[in-house]
Structure 1
Amino acid sequence: MTAIKPRDVDALLKRRNGTFKAVLIYGNDAGSVRERSDILARQVVSDLKDPFNFIELSDSDLKEEPGRLVDEAAALSFMGGERVVRVRGAGAPVDSAGKLLVAALDNGSLNPNALTIIEAGGLKKTAPLRKLFEKSKHTAAIACYEDSDLDLKAMIEQMLRDEDLLITDDALMMLTTTLGTDRGISRAEMEKLILYAGPKSLRGADEEPYQIKPEDVAECLADFTQDMAADIAGIVAQGRLADLSAALYRAAEAGTGAMTTLIFLQRHFSRLYAAQSMIASGDPASAAMKKLKPPVFFNEERAFQAQLKKWPLPRLEGALSNLLQAEHDAKTTGAPVQEIIERTALRLSALASRA
């Protein structure tokens, strides 16, 4: 069995295990799934935008050609070296492609020239894809559970330690109660706080490390502009196109940063994804909303449930992928950040309005 135990995940992420030719990463914590997928991919390819050594497929790419995944895993790189094939999405097309891939690895007909990584949401023990990857000696399955308070506290302390920053006990408690359970969004929030406090690279050699206080957390993570960003996330998920442009304009005028808006969009859609995953596992919508951390407030339950009807799991996977791409483009392309994020918000809102 190659279901990676939680205590062994960190070791796998720190050092490449050549035994595994394909890895399934799944779970309700979409941020953790993305983060671990990126770490494994970069063990093989340093630049995930390299068209010769990195390719990303969706379930729609595999619907008509399930054998394409085996072909891509076997394909040689034009530039030499090992490649990465990443699949985002779950469902029958990915199940079929995964079955062909694992069968080819097990019977020896495939000598892969690529590491294959499949990202999926929450999967039951009986899910075909999970059973396949847990059974084969050539593949591994990694479950991504939502961060507990202890996980979140450990991540916060490690990120601050890496930057030689200090934090008071009150500020640490405030952070652990403010941040959510999505690893990716929590990291993005912490990066913002670190930039506010002053990362190691921007401090002089003799400068004393800054100690983060509760007021710093409040200033960075809980101001009025964030409330506006949260409102925008709800408007997008509801598909209220007529209101979105005005809301984006008001937020910009109030000084809400485009990246703040993106963080709240990622957080909101991750909560929808987590709720839909619980519903798919058999929970009623009302129970799923109460299990979220923090739970959906009573006066927001009706709106949130209406959004769930507009956003089934496959559509949410696409939305989270679009938001991740927007974050990457905003940080790397040099294009106007506000334009990138507003365009993504409008695209998702239009999709919801047609649902």
Structure 2
Amino acid sequence: MPKFPYNPFDSSVGFGRKFIQWINNVLKDIGSDLKENKARVDNLIRNAPQPSEVVDLRVDADGVEHATAGDRITKDYDTLTSQYVYLTDTVDIQVKDINQKILESKRSFAFGYEFEHIAHRGFSGVAPESTIAAFIEAINAGFNSLETDVQISADGVPVCIHDDTVDRTTNGSGLVKAKTLSQLQSLDASKLKPYYSGAKIPTFEEYLEVCKGHCKYIYPEIKSYRSQNDISLIVDLIVKHGWETKCIIQSFRYDDLRIVRNLNPSITLGYLLGDLSTFNNALDKIKTDGNGIILSEYTFMLNNPSLVEVARKEGIDIAVWTVDSAEIIQRLKKIGITRVMSNYKNVGW
């Protein structure tokens, strides 16, 4: 049997397709040899006397004696032909199964990443969202990465808070960008989780310091600012703390991401979206830029699973938000999603 000339672990080869082509060629060669041998023996038998020793040639492997050696060879040939058909059908089924497993493996571990669980605003299901307590709880719970929202205070300091106002999450009221850092940090950010009384709105730099040595990636989202010039304040801190190659900076405002790229070539841009037209727009921008991922609302991906393969063919990864169901996470895994944001850790990850 000739040696299979390809490495089955080399995904660039197309293992399943190459393997079935190779085995078919080998079997065709065997079939061709059988035909030639049969014709040659038939010719000898037809043109030569049949002494008693030819009887041995008429007996097959099962001990059945045939009228002529030619009949016995015909029977052997037909048996081998049936085995050939069975073998090719079996190999075809097995190769399809191999290809399916390879596809599932590629979907699950695209780009060499293991599944990544991202703490949405920290461990916000347990601690006050986007506070140091939430970030530390997320790390202790085993989240791989931390997401947070970033806004700029009235005196130009990046801080971690989701809403444009402080009303929902603190005991204060008013716009974040209208308050100084001192005013923001005088507020109690435990409004939604009162047993963390005294929690403060942290600075973005404090978030970066907590993440150091504990996070695979950081996922800051650009929210409210005084002007687009403030984006440089966020980028400067990312670079200062050495996160530029482990940072996915997110935004729904793609002009903000363009500014990030003009400021730094290494930071990965995260395009937030939830519909098809925005997906196509983001895909085009990432293909042009060469360093970005899609961050989608999860139901959009579940309803449009083919888009995962569309993105992957371009070398573009997808993360989804915000999933707190073990059943949904399993469904996302099956379509190839490798990055998921959650408010809780015990959701079957």
TM-score of the superposition, structure 2-length normalised? Answer: 0.26
Structure having the larger proportion of residues in helix: 1
Q: Which has the higher contact order (CA 8 A, sep 6+)?
A: 1
Larger radius of gyration: 2
